[in-house]
Amino acid sequence: MRALLVQIEAASEPHVGASEAAALLESDVDLAVFPELHLTGYDLARVDERAIAADSAPMMALRDAAAGTDTAVIVGFAERIETGIANSLALIDSDGELAGVYRKTHLFAREREVFEQGNELMVTELAGVRIGPMICFDCEFPEPARALAGAGAELLVTSSANMAPYFHDHLIASQARALDNRRPHLYVNRIGEQGGHRFVGGTRYVTADGRIEAAVDDEEKGLLRVELHPGAVREIEVDYLPRVREDIEVIGPRDHGRIT
């Protein structure tokens, strides 16, 4: 699989973001990944006015571009749903079909006041590869990535809008999630300033043994093209996933009495 990881600032309006994303798609790339809320921006005070539906005109234009270049796309947007607004990823296959919409399950800080929390993880096939998508704060927890890998994901993908001072948190988490599950991990983060935050970049490709194979300079605009083989799992002496024990109980502290 040839992947394009896009580290740029978020758009000011959905149609602008869709046009910018469409212009970056390349026919020799199988999968293009954009940051969290790329189409609508990370400005929590303006989420309601910028939120769009999954079948909105900007999204349809991006789907047409995906089909035209034969490129699968993962892109973040504020999704207008029946119960409010979700922090979502559109998962568009290379034929332009919407393969799924993932809604962020672990909302960070004030996001909980603005977004409806997603209640499902998903494994979606894009460009012939089973992908487990996550959004930003999701990847700081071991459990979502482990559940996705256990459900058959061959490749972990995190779309992020990580801001200062949390660069180091995501540096460690992105490598740990790959190592935990022996799955390659594409981590994409945005740059720029918006909504009172400074976004810290650090887009990277982490191999299944937790090594950073390639990365974009922190806080610099950049396009990272990588080649990976998520279906070709090599023999690894320490492969954690099949050795996880589910039968171990946690017991409480024992009262041994007080010595006087």
The pLDDT, as a whole number, for residue 236 is: 63
The pLDDT, as a whole number, for residue 173 is: 98
The pLDDT, as a whole number, for residue 255 is: 61
Could you confirm whether 136 is annotated as catalytic? yes
* Residue ranges covered by each domain of the chain: 2-231
The pLDDT, as a whole number, for residue 115 is: 98
CA-based nearest residue to 34, from 50, 46, 18, 47: 18
Choosing from 36, 79, 111, 140, which is the catalytic residue? 36
The pLDDT, as a whole number, for residue 123 is: 98
Choosing from 20, 79, 111, 136, which is the catalytic residue? 136
The pLDDT, as a whole number, for residue 50 is: 96
The pLDDT, as a whole number, for residue 252 is: 87
How many Å is the maximal CA-CA distance in the chain?
80
The tens-digit pLDDT sequence of the chain (260 residues) is: 999 999 999 988 999 999 999 999 999 999 999 999 999 999 999 999 999 999 999 999 999 999 999 999 999 999 999 999 999 999 999 999 999 999 999 999 999 999 999 999 999 999 999 999 999 999 999 999 999 999 999 999 999 999 999 999 999 999 999 999 999 999 999 999 999 999 999 999 999 999 999 999 999 999 999 999 886 655 566 788 888 888 999 988 876 555 54
Q: Within a 10 A sphere around the Cβ of 164, how many other Cβ atoms?
A: 11
The pLDDT, as a whole number, for residue 153 is: 97
The pLDDT, as a whole number, for residue 239 is: 83
The pLDDT, as a whole number, for residue 79 is: 98
| Exposure class string for 226-247: b at 16+ Cβ within 10 A, else e | bebebeeeeeeeeeeeeeeeee
The CA-to-CA distance between both ends of the chain, in Å, stands at 68
Could you confirm whether 221 is annotated as catalytic? no
Choosing from 20, 79, 104, 139, which is the catalytic residue? 104
The pLDDT, as a whole number, for residue 147 is: 97
Q: Rounded to 10 degrees, what is the CA torsion of 180, 153, 90, 119?
A: -70
What phi and psi values does residue 72 have, to the nearest 5 degrees?
-75, 150
- What is the spatial distance between Cα 55 and Cα 77, in angstroms, rounded to a whole number? 12
Q: Under CATH, what is the fold of the domain 2-231? A: Nitrilase/N-carbamoyl-D-aminoacid amidohydrolase (3.60.110)
Q: Rounded to 10 degrees, what is the CA torsion of 86, 109, 92, 17?
A: 90
Could you confirm whether 139 is annotated as catalytic? no
The pLDDT, as a whole number, for residue 237 is: 67
| 3-class secondary structure, 241 | helix
Strands 84-92, 98-103: pairing kind: antiparallel
Burial of 143: CB neighbours in 10 Å, binned 0-12, 13-18, 19+: exposed
- What is the spatial distance between Cα 102 and Cα 157, in angstroms, rounded to a whole number? 12
